[in-house]
Amino acid sequence: SSSSMYPQNKRLRFIDLPYLPTPQRNLMVDLVSKMETSLGSQLLPSSLPLDVQYFENESGSSQGALDIRSGTQDSTVDFILGSWIHSKLPSGALNITTLTAYLNNTTDAPRFLIEFIQSSPTSLILILDLPPRKDLILYPDYLTTFYNDTQLDRFRQQLVKLPEIQPYFSSSLYTRSVFSTTAVSIVIDCGTGGPDRMDEIILDDVSPAAKEMLDIWLDKCVCGGRDMEEQERVDLKKRDVLVNKKTLEIDLVAGLPRLFGPDVANRVIEAIQKYSLA
Q: Which residues bind a copy of itself (CB under 8 A)?
A: 135-138, 140, 143, 147-148, 153, 156, 167, 169, 173-174, 176-178, 181-182, 239, 242-243, 246
Q: Toward a copy of itself, which CB reaches closer, 86 or 133?
A: 133
Between residues 5 and 137, which has the closer beta carbon with respect to a copy of itself? 137
Which residue, 11 or 237, has its beta carbon nearer to a copy of itself? 237
Contact assessment for residue 157 and residue 263, using Cβ atoms and an 8 Å cutoff: no
CB under 8 A, 24+ apart: contacts of 145-152: 145/220, 146/109, 146/110, 146/220, 146/221, 147/180, 147/181, 147/182, 150/216, 150/220, 152/180, 152/182, 152/213, 152/216
State the nearest-atom distance from the C-beta of 161 to a copy of itself, in Å.
Answer: 12
**Whole-angstrom Cα distance, residue 174 to residue 18?**
31
For a copy of itself, which is the closer residue by CB, 69 or 133?
133
Nearest approach, Cβ of 150 to a copy of itself (angstroms)? 11
Q: Looking at beta carbons only, is 14 or 112 nearer to a copy of itself? A: 112
* Minimum gap (Å) between residue 178 Cβ and a copy of itself: 7
Query: CB of 147: closest distance to a copy of itself in angstroms?
Result: 5
Question: How far is the C-alpha of 184 from the C-alpha of 35, rounded, in Å?
Answer: 20
Q: Give the residue with the Cβ less far from a copy of itself, 143 or 248.
A: 143
Closest CB 234 distance from a copy of itself, rounded Å:
13
Smallest gap from Cβ 67 to a copy of itself, in A, equals 26
To a copy of itself, the closest distance from the beta carbon of 213 in angstroms equals 15
Residue with smaller CB distance to a copy of itself, 174 or 194: 174
